[in-house]
Amino acid sequence: MIGPIVIDDLRPRSPSGRYPAKAVVGEAVTVSADVFRDGHAVLAARCRWRRVGARRWSATPMVHVGNDRWEGEIRPDELGPWEFVVEAWTDRYASWRRDVELKHAAGQDVELELREGAELLAARAAEVAAALRPTVAGAAAVVADAGLAVASRLAAGTEDSVATALAGVPEAGDLTASGSHRLMVERERALRGAWYELFPRSEGGLAAAAATRLGAIAGMGFDVVYLPPVHPIGTTHRKGRDNTLVAGPDDPGSPWAIGSPAGGHTDLEPSLGTWEDFDGFVAQARRLGMEVALDYALQCSPDHPWVAKHPEWFHRRPDGSIRYAENPPKRYQDIYPLNFWPAAEGDRKALWEACREILEFWIARDVRIFRVDNPHTKPLAFWEWVIQAVHSDHPDVVFLAEAFTRPKMMAKLAEVGFSQSYTYFTWRTTGPELRAYLEELAHGPVADYMRPNLWPNTPDILSGPLRLGPRAAFAIRLVLAATLSPSYGIYSGYELCENEPASPDNEEYRHSEKYELRSRPWGDPASLAPLVGQLNDIRRRHPALGELRTIAFHHTNDPALLAYSKRSSGAGSGGDTGGDTVLVVVNLDPHAAHADWLGLDLEALGVAADAPYEAFDELTGVSYTWQGATPYVRLDPALPAHVLSLRT
């Protein structure tokens, strides 16, 4: 039977409720719920929360924000699983206080109400903290004293100090609790970070890349260096340049065709160097303030040791051959997918355990971030199991899902455990598309458990305005990715504005680095590297840009202009402890200048309607003094964005 108080629609939560919502250490997490009951009594609510297994609960009051919705804020401070519950009760003191004040203001006799209040306060005095009992008990005594004037008794019982003493103290009469909800708390890198994808073989191997490229990548302000598979590459059906079926003697093959006589997923491609070179690469990245992310691609070349040793782990065709990977019209003759559901249960367990051991091997080599290749082509049950197994021993490991797939599958992968996900940002190019998509990611139900990582390009994808696009197109997409999301990444060569597609219809690059070595003019004076460095520096100095759920979009009359802001309650730039607010305005047209009078939501910006405020452009160093909601902006393709820190 339903109780007198209803607690519904708790957030954060996962859609099924089977899996935890997500947060990172120190993140402010808003817990909200619908709380209501019959009649007109005043309710109170709080959130209780703790790390799973801890003996002591923390509690934070919740406030009514409208339409029976209540909110409170918690800040988990340790890695691992947490839980929270929402509790609600009828606040008899607040109900009495409201009613007696209304009756007295209407000139009605309140003697009985004062007697009721005195009894209530006397009873509640025993339930508050010891330091507050004199306040409540003293008020009870004054309210009960019929020899005093009614106004004095009423004032004593309703003063704010009494209300404060009783706030958040539950009453046993109809105390109602929700079920327990889970929250997986990960480290900050699961939410925030700038990624750079690098093929070390194009730089001459791991040792050469560590010596020549890591410093430049760190100089641009990146947090993560992501490497495609570093394992031995097969030779059977090896692809040649431009994905041709016949490889030349010098063609290196695709790194995703994993396995050769030199070994499999726990071995190193000989042309990249030695284990000493790999460990040196990881150590050098850490010295420069970066982490190395590795590709976790669960597939094999025909030459992988597993093919001969464990043929039961692969799909067989009617003619006895092993099925290779296909994504029509694309065919990958050099790659064999794994069969995660072999007929024998023992074979399945052995395969899944072998896949987990791959992760343990690289974790032991100081790798804590994995970009997972095509996770939507493997069972959700496997990801649920393997991520939980790894996190039970290594809660600091971060998993990024490369899931360019159907929305519900993408969301489900996040729900069952992935820390981050690639998104459809690559294909969202107009103002309305970007606004709708980011509002979905930041404010929709997926915001509770799916964290976006925005990539303008990948080795597989050259899309939208970047195809044959000018330098301004690359600058635009860079600014958007870096400021819309706490996490974003670019694939090597983006800063050089590589823009040639494989064909008018093919989204891949011409002369793809997946199949050949690339030599790049890193010192090109037209490189976007300085802008990349500026943006990453701005991201680090402005905690607002590390937020996702605070994004707010503002009105523009010109559809080529997109305006949005983010706020943080943490310390802002320049020692401003009052918070941090950043307003970004982007010209989405890489070919022409656009100007407009903006329509800013001043409340979302924390700016008073009649107060002047400073808008400091972090990209140019120019400061503007604005007043009101309609400042004028003009943006040229040469520098197509304002990134403005606002100061009142």
pLDDT digits (tens, 9 = 90+) for 594-612: 999 999 999 999 999 989 9
Question: Which residue among the candidates 402, 507, 516, 589 is catalytic per the annotation?
Answer: 402
Torsion sign (Cα): 191, 464, 404, 529:
negative
Domain carrying residue 138: 5-88+108-173
At which of 314, 337, 360 does a domain end? 337
Residue that the structure tokens 């690639």 belong to? 422
The pLDDT-based confidence of 79 (bands split at 50, 70, 90) is very high
CA 637 from centre of chain:
30
pLDDT score of 338: 97
User: What's the CATH number where 560 sits?
Assistant: 2.60.40.1180
The pLDDT-based confidence of 576 (bands split at 50, 70, 90) is very low
Same-domain status, 236 and 160: no
Same-domain status, 10 and 156: yes
Average pLDDT, the chain: 95
Task: Give the pLDDT confidence of 100-153 residue by residue, as tens digits.
Answer: 999 999 999 999 999 999 999 999 999 999 999 999 999 999 999 999 999 999
Structure tokens at 149: 């004037």
The rounded distance, in Å, linking the Cα atoms of 408 and 399 is 18
At which of 124, 151, 173 does a domain end? 173
The pLDDT-based confidence of 570 (bands split at 50, 70, 90) is low
The rounded distance, in Å, linking the Cα atoms of 274 and 262 is 12
Q: Taking each helix axis from N to C terminus, what angle separates 92-105 and 111-125, rounded to the nearest 10 degrees?
A: 160
628: left (phi over 0), alpha (psi -120 to 50) or beta: left
Is residue 255 included in any domain, yes or no? yes
Task: Give the pLDDT confidence of 160-191 residue by residue, as tens digits.
Answer: 999 999 998 898 889 999 999 999 999 999 99
51 membership: H or E segment, kind and range: strand 43-51
Same-domain status, 155 and 251: no
The pLDDT-based confidence of 81 (bands split at 50, 70, 90) is very high
> Quick one: 570 exposed, middle or buried, by C-beta within 10 A (0-12, 13-18, 19+)?
middle
Our separate counts of H helices and E strands in the chain read 16, 29
Is residue 456 included in any domain, yes or no? no
pLDDT score of 571: 38
At which of 337, 361, 389 does a domain end? 337
To the nearest 10°, report the CA torsion of 589, 590, 594, 598. 60
Q: Decide if 5 contacts 12 (C-beta within 8 A).
A: no
Same-domain status, 253 and 157: no
Same-domain status, 14 and 152: yes
Question: Which residue among the candidates 83, 113, 186, 373 is catalytic per the annotation?
Answer: 373
Q: Which amino acid is at 123?
A: A
Same-domain status, 310 and 165: no
The pLDDT-based confidence of 578 (bands split at 50, 70, 90) is low
Q: What single string gives the DSSP state of each residue in 529-563?
A: HHHHHHHHHHHHH-GGGG-STT-EEEB-SSTTEEE
Is residue 626 included in any domain, yes or no? yes
Is 413's pLDDT higher than 60? yes
Is 573's pLDDT higher than 60? no
Same-domain status, 166 and 241: no
Among 102-106, 108-112, 317-321, 631-635, which stretch is predicted with the lowest mean pLDDT? Answer: 317-321
Q: How many domains does the chain have?
A: 3
Same-domain status, 141 and 256: no
**Cis before residue 407, ω within 30 degrees of 0?**
no
Same-domain status, 240 and 122: no
Is residue 524 included in any domain, yes or no? no
The rounded distance, in Å, linking the Cα atoms of 275 and 580 is 44
Is 623's pLDDT higher than 60? yes
The rounded distance, in Å, linking the Cα atoms of 202 and 275 is 18
User: What's the CATH number where 50 sits?
Assistant: 2.60.40.10
Rounded to an integer, the average pLDDT of 518-535 is 97
Q: Decide if 217 contacts 196 (C-beta within 8 A).
A: yes
Is residue 270 included in any domain, yes or no? no
pLDDT score of 617: 98
Structure tokens at 153: 């008794």
Same-domain status, 168 and 246: no
Is residue 265 included in any domain, yes or no? no
Residues above pLDDT 90, as percent of the chain? 94
The pLDDT-based confidence of 495 (bands split at 50, 70, 90) is very high
Q: Is the pTM of this model over 0.85?
A: yes
Q: Is 373 a catalytic residue?
A: yes
Same-domain status, 169 and 21: yes
The rounded distance, in Å, linking the Cα atoms of 475 and 161 is 56
Is residue 529 included in any domain, yes or no? no
Q: Taking each helix axis from N to C terminus, what angle separates 111-125 and 150-158, rounded to the nearest 10 degrees?
A: 40
Is residue 221 included in any domain, yes or no? no
Higher pLDDT, 461 or 327: 461
